[in-house]
Amino acid sequence: MIALASNYLLFELEGGETIPFSAESMLIEVRGDNAALFDSEFVRHAAQAVFHYFKYELERQTVSIAEFSGALEKVLSGFALCTLRDGALLPAASGILQSDLRPLADASGILSELSFFPRLREELRRQLTHAPRIMRFSGLRGCVKRLAGARRWSGRCRKLEEQIIEYLRQCLTAEPKKMDLALVVD
């Protein structure tokens, strides 16, 4: 038997067949009334997050197509980016704030991680003052590689990536003013 690569999941079809896919090789299409709410990049990132959840958090090797699509549908439905008013879709009032993690990594300089995490918390608090509905931190992969001083992705990079995400979660829960918001890190 051939071993499955570490970054692949086996997707079980309705007929019982299994097909290996990596997060990058999946093609996701959103259909129906709400398809216009999400651009393809957003859907791709959401699908990669669901893939990561099954592969690394649940430590699953096989997932059914129905189970995966149900989880993805649940994630996408959680992002209420538009409201229905008078029969027309209108963008929701602001509430989406974005920060790039790469400049924070660059500003950390020689102290790297020691300086990065306090800067990240500062940035998170700065965004929270605007009471956003969605906080997006982009550039995670590039940030991690800069902090780790790596040219290629490694196990150390993956650990640091997980530390940054966990740190953001902890910072949000530690804030005295609890808000109903979504955190997106990509």
Where are the chain's structural domains?
Answer: 8-84, 96-185
Task: Indicate if the alpha-carbon torsion angle 40, 17, 63, 19 is positive or negative.
Answer: negative
- Going by pLDDT thresholds of 50, 70 and 90, the confidence category of residue 32 is low
Task: Indicate if the alpha-carbon torsion angle 112, 115, 118, 121 is positive or negative.
Answer: negative
* Distance (Å, whole) CA 20 – CA 110: 41
pLDDT of residue 90: 37
Nearest to 81 by CA among 46, 126, 127: 46
Q: What is the largest CA-CA distance in the chain?
A: 58
Enter the pTM of the model.
0.51
pLDDT of residue 186: 85
* Distance (Å, whole) CA 34 – CA 17: 30
Which residues, 6 or more positions from 6, have their beta carbon under 8 angstroms from its beta carbon?
A: none
Nearest to 120 by CA among 147, 149, 148: 147
Share of the chain above pLDDT 70, in %: 81
Q: What value does the mean pLDDT take over residues 37-49?
A: 78
